[in-house]
């Protein structure tokens, strides 16, 4: 393997940037893997990583990628069973024409979706429902669709299964599933509270008045899908996350296939196999950047103590890195260094890479996907609004959530 050098670091960093730009732009709609796989092969061919390193990266990421596939399928099956449509109808009825109440309901629904089904379900499955709900009530959609974007990131702090970054941090932290949720509950709660207060103020004009449209009665709840979700969530407490997610997908998939609510093709498509390959290839490219010298640079600036100031510094560095190179590469780079400091430093880095992406579009792939969904529906979000919301929420959430983490750490350490 080549030794680390400024030239090697520059070249691998440039290659990583190219992979991320390709994933963001996706020319001609090509999958992200089309850019990442050749890059991964290239870093092997030039000797920055060995085939043994590739095998190690794939092996370490395999459980996380397997869980991601299962949870994506489970989310798509929930959509096929009408979970999100029913939730939107229920919100319309419960809001009673009041936009502020609708925002509260959307916050709760987006947070719950993110926690249980991950941020991808919030962005891909819930955002269209929120748009439809606002249109049906003839209310401005801005507060509610921006809420789905922000909460896809910040509300993913709570459980290991809420975000791909969480799964990676969870594995490195050594915490139990329940322990992870226990220590992250307070940071998660303060983030949601800050987001909600800022949204109420920022969108006060959009939230004024009320709808005069008479809401339709919600249809019957999709009981089987909701029960499967409940059992899947309970299963996370006792087993490795991939197994309850897989069991939930198999049970609900069999039920939906039997009722002809779906078919094999959409189930396979929901697994997003090209994206899973992208994640694996990205891990290889990030490993090359680390071995080329980035790991040494990050080690020099990232504190490994668990004092409040150290944790705040870690969260800030993680947020900055997420907005420079996206949150998934950021956590892959930070974890080996953060692991030296123990669970507190790892979770502080997680706060940075989960909350930080609300500052810019490029912070997370979920945010980029959210923007693409809105553009496809002729609802192109204003960059200025997104940036201003980020400035108002991200610094406050980083400080408050990290302080809450510092206060909660004695519960698990």
Choose among 377, 353, 352: nearest CA to 364. Answer: 353
Give the pTM. Answer: 0.87
Three-state DSSP class for residue 185: helix
Query: At CA 52, angle to CA 304 and CA 3, rounded to 5?
Result: 60
pLDDT score recorded for residue 379: 80
Q: Which residues of the chain have pLDDT under 50?
A: 1
Q: How many other C-beta atoms are found inside a 10 Å radius of the C-beta of residue 354?
A: 36
Predicted local distance difference test score (pLDDT) of residue 202: 96
pLDDT tens readout for residues 325-339: 888 888 988 998 888
Q: For residue 1, what pLDDT is reported?
A: 45
Per-residue pLDDT, 332: 87
pLDDT attached to residue 32: 86
Give the Cα separation of 45 and 8 in Å (integer): 13
């Amino acid at each position: 393997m080549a030794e680390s050098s400024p030239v090697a670091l520059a070249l691998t960093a440039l290659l990583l940037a190219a992979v991320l730009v390709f994933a963001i732009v996706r020319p001609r709609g090509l999958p992200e893997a089309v850019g990442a796989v050749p890059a991964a092969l290239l870093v092997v061919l030039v000797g920055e990583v060995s085939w043994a390193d590739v095998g190690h990266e794939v092996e370490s990421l395999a459980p996380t990628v397997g869980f991601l596939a299962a949870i994506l399928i489970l989310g798509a099956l929930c959509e096929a069973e009408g979970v999100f449509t029913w939730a939107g109808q229920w919100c319309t009825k419960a809001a009673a024409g009041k936009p502020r109440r609708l925002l509260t309901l959307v916050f709760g629904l987006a947070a719950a979706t993110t926690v249980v089904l991950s941020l991808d379900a919030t962005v891909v499955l819930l955002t269209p429902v929120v748009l439809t709900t606002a249109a049906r009530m003839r209310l401005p959609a801005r507060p509610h669709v921006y809420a789905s974007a922000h909460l896809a990131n910040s509300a993913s702090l709570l459980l290991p299964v809420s975000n791909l970054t969480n799964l990676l941090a969870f594995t490195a932290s050594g915490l139990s599933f329940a322990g992870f949720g226990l220590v992250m509950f307070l940071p998660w709660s303060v983030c949601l509270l800050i987001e909600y207060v800022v949204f109420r103020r920022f969108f006060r004009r959009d939230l004024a008045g009320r709808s005069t449209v008479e809401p339709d009665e919600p249809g019957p709840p999709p009981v089987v899908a909701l029960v499967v979700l409940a059992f899947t969530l309970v299963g996370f407490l006792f087993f490795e996350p991939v197994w309850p997610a897989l069991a939930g997908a198999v049970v609900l998939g069999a039920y939906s296939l039997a009722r002809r609510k779906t078919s094999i093709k959409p189930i396979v498509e929901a697994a997003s196999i090209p994206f899973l390959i992208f994640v694996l290839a990205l891990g290889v490219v990030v490993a090359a950047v680390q071995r080329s010298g980035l790991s040494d640079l990050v080690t020099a600036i990232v504190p490994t103590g668990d004092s409040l100031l150290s944790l705040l510094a870690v969260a800030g560095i993680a947020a900055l890195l997420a907005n420079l190179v996206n949150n998934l590469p950021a956590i892959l780079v930070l974890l080996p260094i953060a692991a030296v400091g123990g669970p507190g430093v790892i979770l502080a880095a997680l706060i940075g890479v989960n909350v930080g992406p609300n500052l810019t579009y490029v912070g997370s792939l979920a945010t980029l996907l959210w923007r693409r969904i809105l553009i496809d529906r002729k609802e192109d979000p204003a960059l200025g609004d997104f940036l201003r919301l980020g400035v108002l929420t991200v610094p406050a959430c980083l400080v408050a959530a990290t302080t809450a983490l510092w206060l909660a750490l004695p519960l698990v350490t």
